[in-house]
Structure 1
Amino acid sequence: MMHADLIDQDDLLGQLRSIGFEMPSGATAEQACAQVVCGLNDDRARALRQLVEKMLTSSATILPAVRQAIDQQLLPALATYNKARTQA
């Protein structure tokens, strides 16, 4: 049997916790991402950007709900944060 690396909701929550974000247990990927993007500062945005880049460039398969949360919540929030910083 072949084993594939998967990034599921629990993996996402664990990775967000590992970089310092507090996550309620049982949060969905969408809820976790929505919470993460509130109150970004430079350090948190940098850590989050690195985490997202790592996940998206890895060979692991990102489950659809996690990918959707990244695409709809994290990527736009990071782009908006970066744009606001460069205009300030």
Structure 2
Amino acid sequence: MMHADLIDQEDLLGQLKALGLQIPSGSTAEQACECAVRGLDTARANELRMMVRNMYTSSATILPAVRRAIDLQLLPALAEYQKSQNA
């Protein structure tokens, strides 16, 4: 469960599922981010960017495993998608 001051792996999975993404139960944060970026389209990329922006600008503490998964999986994939759209 999400606490006002902490974002853990379950919170990340819940937020991704709330966006309508099919994330297998029991996925790690890294696996969830890998699933989230498969088949990116403009709408999904925008939703993911907004989710990350909201997480990173909130006062909540993001657990290291969640931040690492976002930084190493999600953000690079979003940047690559944006780059491909601008080409």
The bucket for the TM-score relative to the shorter chain is over 0.9
- Partner of residue 28, structure 1: 28
Asked which structure has the greater CA Rg, the reply is 1
Runs ≥4 in structure 1, deviation > 2 angstroms? none
- Partner of residue 83, structure 1: 83
Q: Tell me whether 1:40 sits opposite 2:40 in the alignment.
A: yes
SS in 2 for 1:53: helix
User: How many residues of Structure 1 are paired with residues of Structure 2 in the alignment?
Assistant: 85
Larger relative contact order, structure 1 or 2 (CA cutoff 8 Å, min sep 6): 1
Aligned equivalents of 2:23, 2:83: Cα separation in 1: 26
Aligned-pair distance for 1:4?
5.9
SS in 2 for 1:48: helix
Residues 2-81 of structure 1 mapped to structure 2, 5 A cutoff: 5-81=5-81
CA offsets, 1:32-60, max 9 Å, x none?
00111110001100100100110011110
TM-score for both structures, normalised by structure 2: 0.94
Aligned identity (percent) is 65
Letter in 2 for 1:24: P
TM-score for both structures, normalised by structure 1: 0.93
SS in 2 for 1:46: helix
Aligned equivalents of 1:64, 1:51: Cα separation in 2: 17
